[in-house]
Amino acid sequence: MALMYFNLTLYWKEGRFENECKNWVNQSALPHDKLVQLSIPLPPIHEQHLVVDRVETLLERVKIAKEALDKIPGVMKRFRQAALKKAFSGGLTTEWREHHQGLEPAAELLRRIREQRKYHYEEEVRGAKAEGRKLPKKPKFSETEPLETSDLLELPKEWLWSCLNELAVTQPGFACGNKNVEDGLMHLRMNNIGDDCYLNKDLIRKVPLDFKIEKYLLKKGDLLFCHTNSGKLVGKNKMQFSIWMGIVLTATI
Mean pLDDT within 112-123: 90
> pLDDT exceeding 70 applies to what percent of the chain?
75
More confident site: 11 or 214: 11
- DSSP, collapsed to helix, strand or coil, labels residue 160 as strand
How many Cα neighbours within 13 Å face the side chain of 15?
A: 3
First to last CA, the chain: 17
Give residue 71's pLDDT: 58
pLDDT of 195 reads: 60
Q: Sign (positive/negative) of CA torsion 111, 172, 8, 27?
A: positive
Contacts with 138 (C-beta within 8 Å, 6 or more apart), sequence order: 121
The residue that leads in pLDDT, 19 or 212, is: 19
Assess whether pLDDT exceeds 60 at residue 243: no
Confidence (pTM): 0.73
115's CB contacts (< 8 A; 6+ apart) are: none
Closest residue by Cα to residue 228 from 27, 32, 36: 27
What does the pLDDT average to over 77-82?
A: 74
For residues 86-112, average pLDDT: 88
d(CA 152, CA 95): 23
Return the pLDDT at 146: 67
pLDDT at position 57 over 80: yes
More confident call, 245 vs 133? 133
Three-class SS state of 157: coil
**What pLDDT sits at residue 129?**
92
pLDDT, averaged across the chain: 78
> Does the structure show a pLDDT above 70 at 7?
yes
